[in-house]
Amino acid sequence: MIDSVVSAKNVRKSFGDREVIRGVNFDIRPGICFGILGPNGAGKTTLMRMLLGLSPVSEGEYRLFGHPVSDALVHSRVGVVPQLDNLDPDFSISLNLKVYAGYFGISAKEAESRIKELLEFASLAKRANDQVSSLSGGMRRRLMVARALINNPDLIVLDEPSTGLDPQARHLIWQRLRSLKNQGKTLILTTHYMEEAAELCDELIILDHGSILTRGAPQALIAEHVEPEVVAIRGLQNELDATQLCDGLDIRLDHIGDTWFCYAADVRALVTRCAQRHELTFIHRPASLEDLFLKLTGRDMRDEE
């Protein structure tokens, strides 16, 4: 067994003179769910596309199962769930899978039994002969996950697997992804949803401006970078009002728009003060991955690239 499924050594990518990946290093152990997080334009997609051979690596060493990512044959061990739906709209559900199996050179007989299994897995067995166009968003996404598994891959790469899904559909997808991990598959996931990353990832990197800001297990990262407790407050008049509210307390203040975030090891005193001011709405909660993410990448709005 190899030590790492993916390894990146000083990987760089430039489009013209614009460098979008600036020398990243990481490796992914087998059997874990690895998250790639970052704001829009951070380089997540480029990092994924390079891994999948859809974008040539400008510099550095990017390896998949010990082979360079440009090696086409290594992709027979990878399954991909893209962000944009590219199912074949002209085909039924089972034909979608059958045709896709063909790209991997899987025989019709082998594909047949595999498809049955996968449709069970994706809870789509009853709809096998329905056209793809009749499926809901959640079903389509499950079908894409099933399609990514047709070649029984060791690594599954998912680009924002639950974007645009309702909570029920999202939880069903998450549950399926966890069961894949339990089967010993390695998962790589890019996402904007901190909740999703916290739920699924054993390890993650946060990427911004083409560099890795931090790496580790979600809970450990939160403990390392963010104070354990947060009070989020709305209704404060201005910055002066906010600082006066926290006066004399050991609190780090931050805000997005009209919401103020107060971070500290102990916020009981602040909570008492807030409760005395009836015009304020506030919530007291433990620090989350989102707090970490915002602390590291800043609170400014990002333009879509």
Partner 1 sequence: MNRFNLIPSHVFAVWRRNFLVWKQLAGASMLGNFGDPFLYLLGLGYGLGFYIGDMNGIPYMAFLASGILCSSAMNTATFEGLYSAFTRMNQQGTWESMLVTPVRIQEIIAGEQIWAATKSLISGTAIFIVAGMLGGIQQWETALLALPVIFLIGLAFAGPALAICAISPSYDFFLYYFTLAVTPMFLFCGVFYPIDTLPAFVQLVAQLLPLTHAVALVRPLVTEMPLVMPWLHVSVLALYAIAGFMLASHLAARRLIR
Q: Which of residues 149-208 bind partner 1 (CB under 8 A)?
A: 151
Q: Which of 59, 88, 117, 266 binds partner 1 (CB under 8 A)?
A: 88
Q: How many residues bind partner 1 (CB under 8 A)?
A: 28
90 binds partner 1 (CB under 8 A): yes
Is residue 210 near partner 1 by the rule CB under 8 A? Answer: no
Binding segment for partner 1 (CB under 8 A), chosen from 52-60, 170-178, 192-200, 211-219, is 52-60
Q: In the complex, what is the shortest distance from the CB of residue 205 to partner 1, in angstroms, rounded to a whole number?
A: 22
The distance from CA 205 to its chain's CA centroid, rounded to whole angstroms, is: 10
Question: What value does the CA radius of gyration of the chain take, rounded to a whole number of Å?
Answer: 22
Structure tokens at 250: 């050991």
**Minimum Å distance from CB 60 to partner 1?**
17
Nearest Cα neighbor of 114 from 146, 89, 144, 138 is 146
State the nearest-atom distance from the C-beta of 280 to partner 1, in Å: 48
> What is the closest distance, in whole angstroms, from the C-beta atom of residue 244 to partner 1 in the complex?
53
Interface with partner 1 includes 59 (CB under 8 A)? Answer: no
Binding of partner 1 by 275 (CB under 8 A): no
Q: Is 86 a binder of partner 1 (CB under 8 A)?
A: yes
- Kindly state the smallest distance separating residue 105's Cβ from partner 1, in Å: 5
* Minimum CB distance to partner 1 smaller for 89 or for 228: 89
Running DSSP on this structure, what letter comes out for residue 8? E
Strand 252-256: give its sheet, edge to edge. Answer: 252-256, 259-264, 229-234, 281-286
Other C-beta atoms closer than 10 Å to the C-beta of 305 total 11
Helices (H), the chain: 44-51, 93-103, 108-121, 137-148, 167-182, 194-200, 218-225, 239-245, 268-276, 289-297
Distances (CA, A) of 305 to 101, 126, 211, 284, 302: 34, 41, 16, 35, 9
Pick one of 4, 19, 30, 104: the residue that binds partner 1 (CB under 8 A). Answer: 104
Residues 4-23, interacting with partner 1 (CB under 8 A): 15
> How far apart (Å, rounded) are the C-alpha atoms in residues 267 and 220?
21
Give every strand in the sheet of 6-15, ordered side by side: 18-28, 6-15, 59-64, 67-68
Residue among 59 and 88 whose Cβ is closer to partner 1: 88
Residue closer to partner 1 (CB basis): 73 or 301: 73
Give yes or no for a contact between 9 and 60, defined as CB atoms under 8 angstroms apart.
yes
Q: CB of 116: closest distance to partner 1 in angstroms? A: 19
CB of 140 to partner 1, least distance (A): 13
Both tokens assigned to 134 = 């009749």
Q: Note the residues at the interface with partner 1 (CB under 8 A).
A: 15, 52-56, 72-73, 75-76, 78, 80, 82, 84-86, 88-91, 95, 99-100, 102-105, 151
